[in-house]
Structure 1
Amino acid sequence: MHDYPGPLTILYRDESIVVIDKPAGLLVHRTALARREKWFAMQMLRDQIGLHVFPVHRLDRPTSGAMIFALNAEVARLLSVQFEQHSIEKSYIALVRGWLNHAAVLNYALKEELDKIADKKANQDKQAQEAVTQYSPIALFELPIAAGRYQTARYSLLKLQPKTGRKHQLRRHMAHLRHPIIGDTTHGDGKQNRAFAGATEVSRLMLHAHSLDFTHPVTQQHMALCAPLPSDWQGLCGQDIWPCSTISPFI
């Protein structure tokens, strides 16, 4: 169980929008699938700033990073249009298994992942939808972490840019490339996850929404906002898990 006693980190706020740095493990809003949960980003932010807020995009519970909320319904509509038109550029940082030493664009359609309870009335035979992810390596390294028959483990630190917004797209695309994101308990490699967590004491999903580039829906100004890498990631630099120089641009 996570504890969120302090206020959310606000990266930007004006009369129309607010951008937060969502912690890993925090749900965005209430859901029937998490009835026992106490903390939700939407309610926490509303109470923190004293205004109703409108979420306009999704960020998975285990993923940390930059997330936009609108402060009125019209701004929410305008931002939703930008997301639908894929004119908002999102960049993520991910740690994946193995060495992925080239940049490319993956166009691999994904069938919608449906929950047995929440989506029981949804169309179970829906066709796979286009899903496009651009990826590029930031750093490659090998660590003395035993996983399976090998005494060392290879990792890649990647920049991921989804060009579409399918559910769990980045996690599923990396798994398709046989380079699953470390800490992904649904699509990842359990043996690698346990080995990494045992060596580093970090067991979270190693996926962080680092930056958002978009047009302000009211002022029409270009916005470029960044959420620095979380403290648990930065702590790995202090443990010499990876070279500090590889993550310094993202802190």
Structure 2
Amino acid sequence: MSSDSSRYKFKHHPETCDPEDYWGQVKRTVNGKPVSPEQIGLIVDSIRDGLQLGSDDVLLDLCCGNGALTSHLFDGCAGGLGVDYSEFLIEVANRRFSRNPSERYLLADALDYVLNGQNPGEFTKVLCYGAFPYFGPDAARSMLRGLNRRFGRVTHLYLGQLPDKSRIGRFFTDRDPAPGEADDPGSLLGLWRTPDELAALAEDAGWTARPIHQPDRFFASHYRFDAVLTRRRAG
């Protein structure tokens, strides 16, 4: 699967879902069924704890989808901005989940926003949940460097749902991955990295990465991990 064809497929998948199937639109599903409220609660709690999200924080959610997850996080902070490249999902976000002027959703490419977006100094925390594996090595490096360089008030960055290359056999139980599949950001789950590889990528961009492994009751705990990035201290 080429990166371009995968990008097209992911972008237009939400349009094939029921208009009220908010978790299905962003593929927060297990065997095609939306995950349970308990699972969403685990995700929200982990992000809040990892970001140390407080009432004064302003959140930037990159690749926010339809805002269904973002809205849970806006409840615990001063609001912020969700960015996504899908016209369909941003329309849903603004219609269904934008509740006041402090909760905004913008149609834009996430990497372009990081490199060129206006008012980067307003944000204190950043989230990219479920989308980072679909950025190739150069794009991922550019994103992390751009966040470090331009978003000077950001102290914490949360990367969620990263396929763990060291546990790839726990996902591919009925077949071996195709040659190059784990290194292809256009594949079904995107680019697989070990926690150490993610840490090296983060360090190169000026961050220190701490891996987070969800409890066993989380639906993807056996093959995914999250990571919290904080600014690397000089010296």
Q: Which has the higher strand share?
A: 1
TM-score scaled to structure 1, two decimals?
Answer: 0.24
Higher Rg: 1
